[in-house]
Structure 1
Amino acid sequence: MSDASGRRSLADWGLEPAVDYVERTQREDGLVLWYPDGPADPWDHVESAMALSVAGRDAAARRAYRWVADVQHDDGALWATYGDSEDGDGAHEGDEPRKETHRSCYVAVGVWHHYLCTDDRAFLETMWPTVRDALAFACAHQAPTGEIYWTVGPDGEVYEDALVAGCASIYKSLACGAAVADVIGHTEARDRWLEARADLGEAIRERPDRFDRTWESKSRYAMDWFYPVLCGVVTGDPARRRLEAGEDRFLETELGCRCVADEPWVTVAESCELVLSLAAVGRTERAREIYEWLFQWTDDEGVFWTGYQFEDGEFWPGERPTWTGAAAVLAADALSGLSSAADLFTDPQPE
């Protein structure tokens, strides 16, 4: 049931099981794993924390951000992945211990989002050093041509190539970090980050030659298609044209968005991010239509599977990631105004 304005609540959308699952999968130290006893990564951890904020689970959300502050390295970075050890100090077993710029600095988006949800200035002040250092790490790896390099190895060697989707995410992180700095009066940091953001945006829009230079192009991945819109790099008519140009390639009617253009697999998280992107360009009815398709990809408890392999007719992989449900919560927020942070992705800050 919706209210007189047509808005729907978290319960109306059937999303309470997804939030319960996120909170249930959170460790005592605050880290939200992908699934019970699974690995974790900082970007998806923050997305899960954002869902907790939308749902009013403020203590759990603050605990999640405290984890980021506790494990952040002196250079402002985080490991790309984490395992199931309670000390939280190392990369997930079997993974190369590297520091990815976009995963390390996404905490800025989460911190700003939590402030919008709660108006908790004390939280903003507490998390300021974490946000400051995370964005300093990213900006330290910005090329003269504007892109921000993808990762740093355990030996400190910088991998001098860049990802479109990763850089778009950093673009959003810089905007949110600048907003945090503005509220608490750190104008020098704000101006520095906005300048870095402007250079990064220009690189994404105007310098495609600066991306995917040393590996196969990632353009077959849906994230490269819509992330520049989702994160506010491309707006207005160019954004609408970008989304329209990719729909035939990535969107499967009544199923969702393919993760990869040439694979028969729709994923809930990418579909939800597409919903946010469509809402950002004013195509709200189309966004709502696609979002409604996704509830067929839940288990009996109402928790979302990763996605559906439509040639084999099976859920694949057989996992229920916390961040998938979190993406669904953020999409519902954008469509229904569940929180005071509902327009975080649909009303991008201009340069």
Structure 2
Amino acid sequence: MSRIPDLPGVISSDEIVASAEHLAGLQTDSGMIPWWPGGHCDAWNHVESAMALDVAGLHREAERAYEWLADIQRPDGSWHNYYLPDGDRDMAVEDDKVDTNVVAYIATGVWHHWKCTSDRSFVDNLWPTVERALDHVLSLRKDDGLVLWAVEADGTRRWDYALLTGSSSIQHALRCGAAVGLATGSPRPDWVDAADRMCSLIANEPLAFQPKTRWAMDWYYPVLTGAIEGEAAKIRLADGWPTFSMEGLGIRCVSDEPWITASETAEASLAYASIGEFATATDLLRWTRSHRCPDGSYLTGLVYPDKVVFPEGETSSYTAAAVVLAADAIAGASPGSDLFVRSSLRPS
């Protein structure tokens, strides 16, 4: 049975619902969920918002989000990087390049929706969309098995490198897609094989990726997505903690600025939960409270020591969504709470 996450002293179930209702309030008639009212939308953060809606029981709103992606999917299985609200179908393209991690993430979302709802007919309908998306992503692999970060809209390979955070997310999406395939009677073991190859490179070949060590995501994302597990994951998080954490405040977006972002803080919380370190995960999520607004939205970032809001006045849908997903991962409330956290890691 699905429950709404409730973490006393951290975030209540009523606050979870308020954040989800804020996300639903951002959703346009077409189903698109922009970053803020009238703002742009990318498929990755759109899916993360849809997952948060499912956690709070707003399943129809989540379905509308996935249906929008299915409606606007390009013939090759991809989506452009950013869309803007423009009429009934929100088809105005702000940035037309194709980011492979953005394209892959629908598989993660659809698997999460299946876990939350057990709605076979809906997932059956979305399966072709998922399959086209992941097959397109894998068509952009390099010889070593990693996927190019991005290509131009016409397929031109302008960028010849892979990113660590994106590759970590893609391998997780491939495993989620394979799970959707099994659930719908369309197994894709080749996706699991591709994910295994990526994980081997993530764990053993750091020079295979374009250096982005300034960014917190490259620290925690291989752990969050299970690309690095066990003792190696614990060591990685411990090694990066002094660089990226500000005690009692949150996680720096970048290592050289006192800029705390609530999304990175919530995602780091997810990473700690994924290895069973729930006390640290809970502390991190508690630290996001300084970003919370009365309507359930979250300020994107605060710069210390003066708590300057940066970007100025900005709240972002993906930030609220990350907080909701982290709360669910810690509380083990919804059937989708084990998307990143194996049930066996939870205290009995």
> TM-score interval w.r.t. the shorter chain?
over 0.9
1:75-99 deviation line (CA, Å, top 9, x unaligned): 110001111213333421xx3x101
Structure 1 counterpart of 2:71: 70
8 Å CA contact 1:231, 1:348 repeated in 2: no
Note if 1:151 corresponds to 2:153.
no
Note if 1:239 corresponds to 2:241.
no
Note if 1:315 corresponds to 2:314.
no
Structure 1 counterpart of 2:216: 222
1: CA distance between counterparts of 2:295 and 2:155? 44
Structure 1 counterpart of 2:195: 197
2: CA distance between counterparts of 1:272 and 1:140? 32
Structure 1 counterpart of 2:300: 306
8 Å CA contact 2:16, 2:56 repeated in 1: no
The Cα shift of 1:12 comes to 3.6
Deviates more, 1:231-240 or 1:137-146: 137-146
Structure 2 counterpart of 1:165: 165
Amino acid at match of 1:105: A
Structure 1 counterpart of 2:84: 83
TM (normalized to structure 1)? 0.92
The Cα shift of 1:166 comes to 0.6
Amino acid at match of 1:240: K
TM (normalized to structure 2)? 0.93
Structure 2 counterpart of 1:211: 209
- What secondary structure, in the 3-state scheme, does the structure 2 residue paired with 1:296 have? helix
- What secondary structure, in the 3-state scheme, does the structure 1 residue paired with 2:84 have? coil
Note if 1:181 corresponds to 2:175.
no
The Cα shift of 1:10 comes to 7.1
Structure 1 counterpart of 2:256: 262
1: CA distance between counterparts of 2:200 and 2:170? 13
> Percent identity, aligned pairs only?
38
Alignment map for 1:276-295 (pairs within 5 Å): 276-295=270-289
1:283-323 deviation line (CA, Å, top 9, x unaligned): 10111112112112112334211011113421211211111
The Cα shift of 1:11 comes to 4.1
Q: How many residues end up aligned between the 2 structures?
A: 337
8 Å CA contact 2:329, 2:337 repeated in 1: yes
8 Å CA contact 2:6, 2:12 repeated in 1: no
- What secondary structure, in the 3-state scheme, does the structure 1 residue paired with 2:82 have? coil
- What secondary structure, in the 3-state scheme, does the structure 2 residue paired with 1:14 have? helix
The Cα shift of 1:155 comes to 2.8
The Cα shift of 1:209 comes to 2.0
2: CA distance between counterparts of 1:13 and 1:287? 20
Note if 1:106 corresponds to 2:105.
yes
The Cα shift of 1:30 comes to 0.4
8 Å CA contact 1:112, 1:180 repeated in 2: yes
8 Å CA contact 1:79, 1:90 repeated in 2: no
8 Å CA contact 1:10, 1:338 repeated in 2: no
Structure 1 counterpart of 2:23: 22
8 Å CA contact 1:10, 1:16 repeated in 2: no
**Does the C-alpha gap of structure 1 residues 151 and 251 become closer, same or farther in structure 2, counting only changes over 3 Å?**
same
8 Å CA contact 1:334, 1:343 repeated in 2: yes
Structure 2 counterpart of 1:297: 291
2: CA distance between counterparts of 1:315 and 1:85? 29
Structure 1 counterpart of 2:140: 141
8 Å CA contact 2:43, 2:79 repeated in 1: yes
Amino acid at match of 1:134: A
2: CA distance between counterparts of 1:346 and 1:261? 26
- What secondary structure, in the 3-state scheme, does the structure 2 residue paired with 1:195 have? helix
- What secondary structure, in the 3-state scheme, does the structure 2 residue paired with 1:113 have? helix
2: CA distance between counterparts of 1:12 and 1:18? 10
2: CA distance between counterparts of 1:166 and 1:155? 21
2: CA distance between counterparts of 1:204 and 1:163? 10
Deviates more, 1:305-314 or 1:324-333: 305-314
The RMSD of aligned alpha carbons is 1.9
- What secondary structure, in the 3-state scheme, does the structure 2 residue paired with 1:326 have? helix
1:204-231 deviation line (CA, Å, top 9, x unaligned): 222222211xxxx211100000000011
The Cα shift of 1:154 comes to 2.2
8 Å CA contact 1:80, 1:100 repeated in 2: yes
The Cα shift of 1:101 comes to 0.6
Gapped regions of structure 2 (runs ≥ 5): none
Gapped regions of structure 1 (runs ≥ 5): none
- What secondary structure, in the 3-state scheme, does the structure 2 residue paired with 1:266 have? strand
8 Å CA contact 1:10, 1:55 repeated in 2: no
**Does the C-alpha gap of structure 1 residues 100 and 111 become closer, same or farther in structure 2, counting only changes over 3 Å?**
same
**Does the C-alpha gap of structure 1 residues 145 and 326 become closer, same or farther in structure 2, counting only changes over 3 Å?**
same
